[in-house]
């Protein structure tokens, strides 16, 4: 279970201020904290409010890489910014993200191959929006898998996101996402990887952390390989480590939680 | 129709442990042994590397092992009471890659020899043969915690393989290996969870993974060998998937386990259906070794020269690159 640490995001006030003042302190702190707590990737997002998003992204990428070697997930819908960021990444990065629209695939997949990056691809398109059923999600996932084959992106470099919605307003979507995960794992050999924006499940709900980690464990049982999530949430990280053990993905030992935080998968 | 060979892509590989040190390296060995380094399942040369062949250490005891089978003792007639001559015979007569020296006479009930006497035995064997040495104690923790550190100190530079560290008793021997730069055997009771945990505890003390050899404990043929087989296989699979806390080379006391079996020892008169005892015993040891080679054993501790010869041939054949 690769946790993609979500915290370096301009949506959060401290990161927004850091970008504005070019003050590295908070960025460094979160990069180290998430890495030490087991994050396999660090998501990097300037947030919508950044004055010069290109400049802000480049600054964030360079600032984070000053203190950690953790690979980065570049989080932007602007593919020119994406490409500039990929050029700066010292280790192969994760593109976050690409929709299942043909014109976006044609821009993103060749770029991923060029820079050796992996791609988070969403099982949604402009036309479909977020699909209501598992079947509709899987149909879009199949298009993404076929496109990976077409553009020479290895199947296991493709991280398909079946899309989670908040459980309070879209309660019927959770089971559809789980079923979609099971089926996505059957689409190719080797199968594509899977991911999700975990914290979406609990937007504006009570007991957010409990919802997040319960959902994480349930999704893992359905074939979830990674999640964009709060890597600083100890309970969440311990649940991920424990689920891996119960699923026999990792050989048990008494120090399995510490080991998970070192191994990061 | 073209057939494409299916090759596993593995994320991890077994670490390499070097045993022994030549003069330039600060020791007195004429050869050193490297074990481990595999990046595939055993002998699958077509999909991974197997840079070092499995090696055979022959067992030498510092007292006459009265309890051993006559067939094994007959192979060492005249040298059984002399570990130096015994070791020489193993190297010169049988081509042993290492000597596995058991300091049994330190046991209070088997001679109660002092740490100084034990050190002398080790030094004498070192002087007599050029191959690297593995040295283990008598199995009584409080005694071994005195003799092994003494050996470690007196033989600093030789890069020995010292045993055994166990979950109940590892601090002293780990410290001795760290200070005097020797390798360590981490021994666990047929339990991969404890094996992994012990490796964590040892590496947390500061001994690096490339100084650790795993003795996951084996069962001999007919007496639990399948447990050993599946544990070694599980460990290798974990290693190939990137589990670094299992990625150490492995050791098995093949001779010790095989010759415990009744089938290796009883005479044809007692059990006519089992055939002649001599070749039965030799094959019992050789079969135990060959089966465990298939599950990933890197260092085999053996006894009978004829069994050693058979297994050497088996290893040589298996190391031939396959035609694929």
pLDDT at B165: 98
Chain B contact probe: residue of A157, A251, A255 with most B CBs at under 10 A:
A251
Token pair in block for residue B27: 């020791």
Does any CB of chain B come closer than 8 Å to the CB of residue A259?
yes
CB pair distance less than 8 Å for B196 and A253 = yes
Q: What is the pLDDT of residue B305?
A: 98
CATH of domain B19-317: 3.20.20.20
Please report, rounded to a whole number, the percentage of residues in chain A having pLDDT higher than 90.
97
Task: Give pLDDT, residue B262.
Answer: 96
CB pair distance less than 8 Å for A251 and B200: no
Over residues B128-155, the pLDDT tens digits come to 999 999 999 999 999 999 999 999 999 9
Burial B98-131 (b: 16+ CB within 10 A, else e): bbbbbbbbbbeebeebebebbbebbeebbebbeb
What residue in A sits closest to B246 (Cα-Cα)?
A: A251
> Is some CB atom of chain A closer than 8 A to the CB atom of B234?
yes
Mean pLDDT along residues B224-246: 96
To the nearest whole number, what is the mean pLDDT of chain B? 97
- Picking from B7, B197, B238 by the largest number of A CB atoms within 10 A of its own CB, the best residue to mutate is B197
Cβ neighbours around A91 below 10 Å, total: 12
> A154 and chain B: CB distance < 8 Å anywhere?
no
- Which residues on chain B are in Cβ contact (under 8 Å) with A259? 200, 245
Question: Does B322 have pLDDT greater than 80?
Answer: no
**Taking CA atoms, what residue in B is nearest to A262?**
B244
Average pLDDT value for residue range B214-218: 97
**How many interchain CB pairs under 8 A, A with B?**
29
The alpha carbon of residue B248 is apart from the nearest alpha carbon of chain A, in Å, by 15
With a CB-CB cutoff of 8 Å, which residues 115-154 of chain B face chain A?
none
Domain boundaries A92-232, corresponding CATH code: 3.20.20.20
Tell whether the model's pLDDT for residue B323 goes beyond 60: no
- The list of chain A residues with pLDDT below 50 reads none
Separation of CA A118 from chain center: 11
Q: CB of B175 within 8 Å of any CB in chain A?
A: no
Q: Buried (b) or exposed (e) across A34-64, using 16+ Cβ within 10 A? A: bbebbbbbbbbbbbeebeebeebbbbbbebb
A253 vs B: CB within 8 A: yes
Is the bond leading into B164 cis (omega within 30 degrees of zero)?
Answer: yes
Report the share of chain B in percent with pLDDT over 90: 97
Mean pLDDT for B219-247 is 96
Q: Where in chain A is the domain with CATH 3.20.20.20?
A: 92-232
Instruction: Give the residue-averaged pLDDT of B93-112.
Output: 97
Q: What is the pLDDT of residues B5-61, one digit of tens each?
A: 889 889 999 999 999 999 999 999 999 999 999 999 999 999 999 999 999 999 999
pTM of the model: 0.91
Min Cα separation B196/chain A (Å): 6
Residue of A189, A253, A255 to mutate for B, most B C-beta atoms under 10 A: A253
Whether the CB of B5 is below 8 Å from some CB of chain A: the reply is no
**Measured between CB atoms, which of A252, A258, A265 is closest to B193?**
A252
Selecting from B194, B197, B243 the residue whose C-beta is nearest the C-beta of A250 gives: B243
pLDDT of residue B321: 82
pLDDT in tens, B47-73: 999 999 999 999 999 999 999 999 999
Percent of chain B with pLDDT over 70: 99
**pLDDT at res. A20:** 96
What gap in Å lies between CA B182 and CA B160, rounded to an integer? 5
Taking 90 as the threshold, does the pLDDT of residue B179 lie above it?
Answer: yes
Kindly list the residues from chain B whose CB atom is less than 8 angstroms away from the CB atom of residue A258.
Answer: 200
Q: Which residues of B touch A253 (CB under 8 A)?
A: 193-194, 196-197, 200, 245
Residues 191-230 of B with CB under 8 A from A: 192-194, 196-197, 200
Interface test mutation site (partner A, options B12, B200, B232, max chain A beta carbons within 10 A): B200
């Amino acid at each position: 279970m690769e946790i993609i640490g979500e915290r370096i995001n301009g949506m959060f006030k401290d990161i927004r201020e850091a970008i504005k003042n070019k003050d590295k302190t908070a960025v460094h702190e979160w990069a180290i904290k998430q890495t030490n707590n087991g994050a396999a990737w660090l998501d990097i997002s300037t947030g919508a409010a950044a004055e010069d998003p290109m400049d802000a992204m480049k600054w964030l990428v360079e600032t984070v890489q000053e203190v950690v070697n953790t690979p980065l997930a570049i989080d932007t819908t602007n593919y020119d910014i994406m490409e500039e960021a990929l050029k700066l990444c010292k280790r192969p990065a994760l593109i976050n993200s690409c929709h299942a629209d043909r014109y976006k695939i044609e821009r993103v997949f060749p770029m991923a191959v060029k820079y050796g990056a992996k791609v988070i691809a969403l099982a949604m398109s402009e036309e479909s929006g977020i699909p209501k059923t598992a079947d509709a999600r899987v149909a879009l996932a199949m298009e993404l898998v076929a496109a990976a084959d077409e553009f020479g992106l290895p199947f296991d470099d493709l991280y398909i996101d079946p899309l989670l919605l908040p459980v309070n307003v879209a309660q019927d979507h959770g089971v559809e996402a789980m079923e979609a995960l099971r089926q996505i794992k059957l689409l190719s050999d080797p199968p594509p990887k899977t991911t999700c924006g975990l914290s979406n499940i609990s937007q504006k709900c009570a007991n957010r952390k409990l919802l997040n980690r319960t959902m994480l464990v349930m999704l893992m049982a359905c074939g979830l390989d990674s999640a964009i999530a709060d890597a600083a949430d100890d309970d969440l990280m311990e649940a991920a480590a424990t689920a891996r053990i119960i699923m026999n993905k990792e050989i048990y030992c008494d120090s399995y939680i510490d080991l998970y935080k070192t191994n990061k998968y | 129709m073209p057939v494409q060979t299916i090759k596993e892509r593995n994320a991890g590989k077994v670490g390499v442990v070097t045993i022994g040190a030549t003069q330039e390296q600060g020791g007195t060995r004429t050869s050193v042994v490297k074990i481990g380094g595999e990046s595939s399942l055993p002998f699958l040369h077509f999909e991974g590397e197997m840079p070092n062949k499995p090696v055979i250490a022959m067992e030498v005891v510092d007292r006459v092992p009265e309890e051993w089978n006559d067939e094994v003792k007959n192979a060492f007639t005249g040298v059984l009471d002399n570990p130096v001559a015994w070791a020489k015979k193993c190297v010169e007569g049988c081509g042993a890659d290492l000597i596995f020296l058991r300091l049994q006479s330190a046991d209070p009930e088997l001679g109660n020899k002092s740490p100084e006497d034990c050190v002398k035995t080790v030094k004498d064997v070192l002087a007599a043969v050029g191959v690297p040495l593995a040295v283990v104690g008598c199995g009584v923790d409080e005694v071994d915690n005195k003799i092994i550190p003494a050996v470690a100190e007196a033989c600093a530079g030789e890069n020995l393989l010292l045993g055994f560290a166990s979950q109940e008793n590892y601090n002293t021997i780990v410290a001795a290996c760290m200070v005097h730069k020797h390798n360590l055997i981490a021994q666990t009771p047929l339990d991969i969870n404890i094996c992994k945990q012990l490796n964590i505890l040892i590496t947390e003390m500061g001994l690096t993974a490339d100084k650790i050899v795993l003795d996951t404990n084996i069962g001999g043929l007919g007496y639990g060998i399948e447990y050993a087989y599946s544990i070694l296989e599980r460990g290798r699979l974990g290693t190939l998937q990137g589990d670094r806390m299992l990625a150490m080379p492995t050791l098995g006391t093949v001779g010790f386990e095989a010759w415990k079996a009744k089938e290796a020892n009883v005479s044809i008169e007692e059990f006519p259906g089992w055939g002649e005892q001599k070749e039965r015993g030799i094959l019992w040891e050789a079969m135990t070794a060959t089966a465990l080679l298939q599950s990933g054993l890197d260092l085999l501790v053996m006894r009978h020269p004829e069994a050693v010869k058979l297994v050497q041939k088996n290893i040589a054949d298996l190391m031939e690159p396959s035609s694929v």
